[in-house]
Amino acid sequence: MTWLALILLGGMVALDATSLGQLMLSRPFVAASLAGAVIGQPLEGALIGALLEALSLGILPVGASRYPDTGTAAVAAVGTLGLAEVVASAPALLLIVVYGLLWQRISGFSVIGGRYVNEWLVRAGEPGERPRMDRLIEHRHLESMLLDLGRGMLITIVALAIGVPLLPLALSYWALPNIAATLAVSAAAVAVLAGTAPLFAESPRARLVLLAGLVFGSLLLVAR
């Protein structure tokens, strides 16, 4: 049942990313939180999602650019953690984040493939071939969305099928101290997140606001 729910979630998130809605269920930290809820570990899912989010925030889907598919990969990563039934230790977190990043790439390639399939579908509905263009366009459009749903589900199935048996095995062969894993994940996330600063803090005033936020965040940390 958990497998089925994760696969459906993977498909839904893939659909949300571009084809239908764009309600941002496909943002890594939302998708990962939903996957976390499915596996019964919402907070762990959300925290993994926050890391994947920090590593993806600067990716902007402008124009016809090609970019990684972050949502489906987040579902696959968190689903792998839950189904493999491993403790969310620092090495497990590192391996899951890396696994999620890998699937972002693979799933991103499948998006490109899907767009070429769409091109073929749309081309198949060109004038002269069928008399009812209005119905044909609607059918092709709905078929494209169904294909995207199927793509997301397939990516999730494959990622879980590989990841679930592999994660415990990989953990038993991983031998650096926990602090190395925590530092690597934390430093990478912070560096990429800080790298987005030029998007928001162009002016000296905005940089001051960012510093004020830094103080606020530090105070929140101390208060906890």
Partner 1 sequence: MKRLPASVRWSVFLRSFAIQGSWNYRTLQGSGFAYALMPVLRHVYGDTERLQDAVIRHSTLFNAHPYLAGIALGAVARMEVDGEDAALIERFKTALRGSLGTLGDRIIWAGWRPACVLLGMVVLLATSSALAGVASFLLVYNTGHVGLRWWALQLGFDGGRHVGERMRTIPVSRWHRFVVTTAAFLLGAALPLIAVGEFTESRLSLPWMAVPAMAAVVGWFVGTAIRMPALIMLAVVTIAGFLVHLIS
Contacts to partner 1 from residues 149-188, by CB under 8 A = 170, 173-176, 178-188
Q: Which is nearer to partner 1, 1 or 221 (CB)?
A: 221
- Please report, as residue ranges, which positions from 54 to 113 form the binding site for partner 1 (by CB under 8 A): 54-55, 57-64, 88-91, 93-95, 97-98, 101
Residue pair 51/185 in contact by the 8 Å Cβ criterion: yes
At its nearest, how many Å lie between partner 1 and the CB of residue 158?
20
- Chain positions 13 to 42 lying near partner 1, rule: CB under 8 A, are 18-25, 27, 29-30, 33-34, 36-37, 42
Q: How far is the CB of 177 from partner 1 (least distance, A)?
A: 10
Site for partner 1 in 114-133 (CB under 8 A): 115-116, 118-119, 121-123, 125, 127, 131-133
Minimum separation from the CB atom of position 94 to partner 1 (A): 6
# residues near partner 1 by CB under 8 A: 111
Q: Minimum Å distance from CB 8 to partner 1? A: 18
